[in-house]
Amino acid sequence: MAQRVAVIGCGQFGMVLACHASHCGHETSLWARTPDELAPLIDHRESPRLTGVRIPASVIVTGDAAAALAGASLVITAIPSQYARRIWSVLGSHLPDGAILVSVAKGFEMTSLLRPSEVLREICPQAEVIALSGPTIATEVAKGLPTALVAAGCEHAGGVVKSVLGGDSWRIYTSRDLVGVECAGAIKNVIALAAGMIDGMGLGLNAKATLLARGIAEMARLGVALGGLRDTFFGVAGVGDLATTCFSPDGRNRTLGERLGAGTSLGAALDSMNSVVEGVDTCRAVIDLSTRHGVEMPISQAVHRVLFEGTPPRTALLELMRRESALERI
């Protein structure tokens, strides 16, 4: 049955979500925050952030939050983690009673170290919050190429998300492990930064495969310490999303890491990106959380040294390679 879907945020994935919901036959609105964001979407039905993707005429593009959210049964928030509290503190009063709030953000809030769903529950306690995560490079999803995602949270609400957004190109699994799914989506961006550095230094696929294997071990260790289930990290939302992010030329975190590995400074690399790279702030949060919970995360620590302590990527790599090896463990 057709639903009314509201997508909040017009970044790359927000645009793709609005297009996908419309193609699924749902009445869809797309909310953008500023006139500069709205203008190209209304005038040309395209965004400079995702060229070549045309927004269907059936999608209502608006800067009026009340209009965007009115009557929506499913509200998808594609606001980056660091801005969600500020924006939803304003928009929350317009959220319809009974609406399911679906978060696709991948990160932690810097000031509180909370997961996106925890922030949303503080602001919108009346809503059932679902995390939707998985391998979703926007350029591929926009072309209708197949992927799988996980809708995590309340079983009933996850089932609704599955029925509304699932289809021939989107296979949606459900999970009760909201903590694990959100942790996997956040931490994998830090590992993707390291994967990009390997690409920028031209170190080859053996090095990258090793990084992914040990990276998923780090993700699982911290995720379990935070309350997630280990199995989640070896599924679609974990290793599936990690592999895509680390290998895709369109992955923002991998791309930023590649530029760092090639010798570009962090400031210049960030200035060259046209979208928020969540892994940078997430790296700070991951180190804080790993310290708080006593979890060893050498790859994440190496990325932190490169980003914030001025350590050259090659030096960070050598420090990792010279660590004493022991019995492999996950």
Q: Binning pLDDT at 50, 70 and 90, where does residue 216 land?
A: very high
Residue 243 has a pLDDT of 96
Of 11-20, 195-204, 237-246, 281-290, the range with the lowest mean pLDDT is 11-20
Return the structure tokens found at 90.
């304003």
- How far apart CA 188 and CA 300 sit, in angstroms, is 10
Residue 153 has a pLDDT of 97
Which part of the chain has CATH 1.10.1040.10? 187-321
- How far apart CA 54 and CA 16 sit, in angstroms, is 10
Instruction: Give 145-158 pLDDT, tens digit per residue.
Output: 999 999 999 999 99
Which part of the chain has CATH 3.40.50.720? 4-176
Of 31-40, 119-128, 230-239, 316-325, the range with the lowest mean pLDDT is 316-325
- How far apart CA 246 and CA 282 sit, in angstroms, is 16
Q: What average pLDDT is seen over the chain?
A: 94
Q: Which of 106, 162, 188, 208 is catalytic?
A: 188
**Mean local confidence (pLDDT), 57-67:** 95
Q: Binning pLDDT at 50, 70 and 90, where does residue 101 land?
A: very high
**Bridge partner list, 147:** 170
What pTM was computed for the model? 0.95
Amino acid at 112: S
| pLDDT of 325 higher than 90 | no
Question: Long-range contacts: 203-206, Cβ < 8 Å, 24+?
Answer: 203/317
**How large a percentage of the chain has pLDDT more than 70?**
100
Classify domain 4-176 at the CATH superfamily level.
NAD(P)-binding Rossmann-like Domain (3.40.50.720)
Instruction: Give 22-48 pLDDT, tens digit per residue.
Output: 999 999 999 999 999 899 999 999 888
Name the DSSP class of 47.
B
Phi/psi-derived region of residue 58, left when phi > 0, alpha when psi is between -120 and 50, beta in every other case: alpha
Instruction: Give 262-300 pLDDT, tens digit per residue.
Output: 999 999 999 999 888 999 999 999 999 999 999 999 999
- At a CB cut-off of 8 Å and minimum separation 6, what does 118 contact? none
Amino acid at 77: T
Classify domain 187-321 at the CATH superfamily level.
N-(1-d-carboxylethyl)-l-norvaline Dehydrogenase; domain 2 (1.10.1040.10)
Residue 106 designated active-site: no
- How far apart CA 238 and CA 241 sit, in angstroms, is 6
**Mean local confidence (pLDDT), 240-258:** 95
Residue 276 has a pLDDT of 85
| pLDDT of 99 higher than 90 | yes
Residue 199 has a pLDDT of 97
